[in-house]
Amino acid sequence: MKGARTERDLRGETPADAYHVPGHGIGVVVHEATDDEATASTAVVDVVDVSPGVEDLVAHREAMVRGMSRLDAAVRAAKPGAADRYARVLGHMAGGMSPAEVAVTEGVSPARAATLIAEVRAAGRARARVDRVRVEVIRYVAEEPMSTLSDLADVGADAADINTAVRELVDEGILRRRGRSFYVTPRAASI
């Protein structure tokens, strides 16, 4: 109603003139058809099911669980002395709580709640930065098998982030080490 478009609309999978019934998986699409001889236009109405399939919902849910787990681990690693508190704050943020609500729930001042939230966000940004480097490392090693750590400097990221990304990818079995070089395993195709 406000002209907002979803990513699916932007990719062109949903006609721009589709009307979606809120809370339902039904959409009404109105197409204008022009009769060339009479130059009169008529409307053709299609009713389509625009709800995502079960497979899409399951995949989305699994991705969300993995993402939240990675964020939780990042927050806990960034703040090991108060890991449980920061993990709770992450949960509050994911639940949509405002800073004032976080302050009340955690029993702290609004200023302290804002600091807690800022520190959780900083840990999340650091995790996102390493995740981007992971993608770049996989791409680089896939294109240049048997790359070394010094070769990976070409990725253009901070050396610490590259080392963290490589360590995680080796631990997860996505990269394998042969001497001082790395290669991508078939497991990389599944991510």
Same domain, 97 and 178: yes
- Give a yes or no: residue 63 inside a domain: yes
CA atoms within 13 A on the CB side of 25: 6
- Give a yes or no: residue 2 inside a domain: no
Same domain, 165 and 74: yes
Same domain, 59 and 111: yes
Same domain, 101 and 140: yes
Same domain, 76 and 103: yes
What pLDDT does residue 22 have? 53
Same domain, 161 and 97: yes
Same domain, 77 and 40: no
pTM assigned to the model = 0.63
Same domain, 16 and 61: no
**How many domains would you assign to the chain?**
2
- Give a yes or no: residue 123 inside a domain: yes
Q: What confidence tens digit (pLDDT) does each residue in 110-148 have?
A: 999 999 999 999 999 999 999 999 999 999 999 998 999
Residues 152 and 161: their CA atoms lie apart, in Å, by: 11
What's the domain range around 117? 55-190
**CA distances, 15 to each of 29, 39, 48, 57, 139 (Å):** 7, 24, 11, 22, 34
Same domain, 117 and 170: yes
Collapsing DSSP to helix, strand or coil, 38 comes out as coil
Same domain, 69 and 158: yes
Q: What confidence tens digit (pLDDT) does each residue in 6-49 have?
A: 555 555 555 555 444 455 555 555 555 555 555 555 555 566 66
What pLDDT does residue 18 have? 47
- Give a yes or no: residue 25 inside a domain: yes
Q: What confidence tens digit (pLDDT) does each residue in 71-94 have?
A: 899 999 999 999 999 999 999 998
